[in-house]
Structure 1
Amino acid sequence: MRRADDPYCAPLAVSADGMLDVGDGHHIYWTDSGAGIPMITCHGGPGGAMMVGAARFTDGHRVRHIMFDQRGCGRSAPRGRLEANSLQHTVADMERLRRHLGIERWIVSGGSWGSTVALAYAEAHPERCLGLFLVSLWLCRKADTDWWFHGVQTLFPELWESFAAMVPEAERGDLRDAYCRRILGDDADVAARLATSLFLYEEGFMHFDAPIAPPDPGRGADYGRIFAHYAAHDFFVDDDTLLRHADRLAAIPVSIITGRYDCCTPPSNAWALARRLPHARLEIVPGAGHYPTEPAFGHAVARAAQDFVGHIERELGR
């Protein structure tokens, strides 16, 4: 039985799935469910995996949900592989998947790192986008990365201190470099320990509401290694690239929603993009953090997603 205040749509079973050979020795896992307007959802990380529950933000009878695990992530193979693994590869993989599924145009969506991927794809292939739905936007600017590795101590001093304590004091002025060198280094034990520390650090400041269960440290080694690979390469984005190319989205409906108290991808990211896109709809949700699975943010994201699908339906004359 569903609660009366449950904002989410009923889940639908996966109707098709598979492994797509995208070259370079990589195969990405994808799923297809629902019917209606195609929508591809990009997962977070880098290093995460598809969140099946994200399909519940929109009605599966109105939306055909396409999801995939990025290179080296989730059920994609080989798991954890860093070679030929970049944002640009992921954008190209999405195009291969679109052609493989015979989709002409789709709504592109994503949250957190997934919003970075979705935005990069839309700027590379605006002609393939019916709309762009971004949750907890992250632009990967230098200021955003500096906040992640250092600025968080403003609100989580004890968490940051534990994170910083994993490396020698002389190296704590650049924790990104200190962590990435060790995680991507030759000492497997040190790499696993630091990767897990990075994962638990992020989990520690992403929640606004107290989590129902603690994070699983067992996910840390794989997640942290891919994250470190991307962080070591500036997430494969020049400092202002995503903002500089925002004019390519002028003809695309765009919705941006973020939590007022998001400590992982602060609202300054969403605000900066919205200023470049006067036609975009921006919503900053009071009493919300990073996770759309938490009550305040979840209700707002579900409502915004369904409204956005309705807007696309009207644009298409459905």
Structure 2
Amino acid sequence: MDRTAGQNRAAAHLYPGIDPFDQRMVEVGDGHKVYVEQCGNPDGQPVVVLHGGPGGGCSPAMRRYFDPAHFRVILFDQRGCGRSRPHASVENNTTWHLVRDIELIRDGLGLDQWVVFGGSWGATLALIYAETHPDRVSHLVLRGVFMMTQAELDWFYGGGAGKFFPERWDAFASLIPEDERDDMIGAYSRRLFSGDMQQEVRYARAWAGWENQLAALQVHGSGESPADYARAFARLENHYFTNRGWLEGDDVIMANRHLIEHIPASIVQGRYDMICPPHSAHRLAHGWGKAELNMIPTAGHALSEPGITAELVRITNEIRDTNS
């Protein structure tokens, strides 16, 4: 099965494509404008979608995981990426700025509570937002759990995943001199923020390509991203990972889990996720009475994996039926 076939199989589980009924640029302060859109039912149950990366941006496909007759779906591009401006900027761009932006959007739309739906870095941000504002979250839907721990970063950027994909790791690592390879995040940071646009794009494409090629269970092709996308994605990810998400402690999400244990959580995890291995999802769910972990046996990391797509749509339909 090639990647296109897999995406087609995944699309079969989705609701038909829809256009937004509202699009706006929101001034969030600090010189940033954030793109926000709404689609589905203007009077429906609100759900906010938190995209991955950091720096991934939202896409039209993300609108399709929700019954448009029931849900009011809110998507936005986080600071520095997608249609938000300034593009690829890391100034005034931290986890806590994003948490504040989410609250600004919620309050601006006049919503008391919403379902929070996020995958990968979006799951990280969803958890941090929920732990900061637990009264604003009615349900968490999380996919490909990442908790911004050193162990997770070491796995992906320290050679752990590279043991399964040595040829791809070699392509990623070979751009860095051997005496710098003990800190790949730091080595790439120096090049992604060099001020030389040509160099930044070259290393951004390598950074994004390493992740893209490991995202799905079967990926064919180079996984090379357009220059503008790759540069924003790589710079923002690297910026956040260099600063460990500005979290107070290596395992702070787990330390604060008690703050959100009253919130229902549906967790979807690919068994063969090479970017965010299942250990984190298992740890997060274990002992959380209102959390349900759905391990997809034949899936990797990507939102577009057919098994992951089918399970996420099943979960949002279940939330719809519970609240109809």
Q: TM-score, normalised by structure 2?
A: 0.91
Residue of structure 1 aligned with 2:18, choices 12, 18, 36:
12
Judge conservation of contact 2:54–2:237 (CA < 8 Å) in 1. yes
Tell me if the contact between 1:33 and 1:66 (Cα under 8 Å) persists in the aligned partners: yes
Q: What do you get for the CA RMSD once the two structures are aligned?
A: 1.9
- CA distance in 1 between counterparts of 2:287 and 2:243 reads 26
Q: CA deviation at 1:17?
A: 1.1
Q: What amino acid maps onto 2:190 in structure 1? A: R
For 1:231, the equivalent position in structure 2 comes to: 241
Q: Which amino acid aligns with 1:216?
A: S
Q: Percent identity?
A: 35
Q: Give the match for residue 114 of structure 1.
A: 122
Q: Which whole-Å CA distance do the structure 2 matches of 1:230 and 1:116 have between them?
A: 12
Partners of 1:184 and 1:206 lie apart in 2 by 25
SS of equivalent to 2:146: coil
> Residue 102 of structure 2 aligns with which residue?
94
Partner of 2:3: none
Q: Is 1:51–2:59 an aligned residue pair?
A: yes
C-alpha distance in 2 between matches for 1:306 and 1:236: 35
Determine whether 1:166 maps to 2:172.
Answer: no
Q: Which has the higher contact order (CA 8 A, sep 6+)?
A: 2
Q: How many residues align?
A: 312
- Aligned mates of 2:320, 2:261 — CA distance in 1: 18
Q: Structure 1: which amino acid aligns with 2:140?
A: L
Note if 1:29 corresponds to 2:35.
yes
Greater CA deviation, 301-310 or 85-94?
Answer: 301-310
1:148 aligns with: 156
Change in Cα spacing, 1:308 to 1:155, as seen in structure 2 (3 Å) is farther
- The answer as to whether partners of 1:243 and 1:276 remain within 8 angstroms in 2 is no
* Cα shift readout 1:165-201 (whole Å, capped 9, x = no counterpart): 1111111122111111221234443332212210111
Amino acid at match of 1:139: M
TM-score w.r.t. length of structure 1: 0.93
* 1:161 maps to amino acid: D
1:180–1:231: 8 Å Cα contact kept in structure 2? no
| Counterpart among 289, 305, 318 of residue 294 in structure 1 | 305
SS at match of 1:264: coil
Q: Could you tell me how far 1:307 is from its partner in structure 2?
A: 1.9
Runs of 4+ in structure 1 deviating by more than 6 angstroms, as ranges, are none
Distance 1:212 1:112, change over 3 A: same
Question: Offset at 1:213?
Answer: 8.4
Offset, 1:104: 1.0
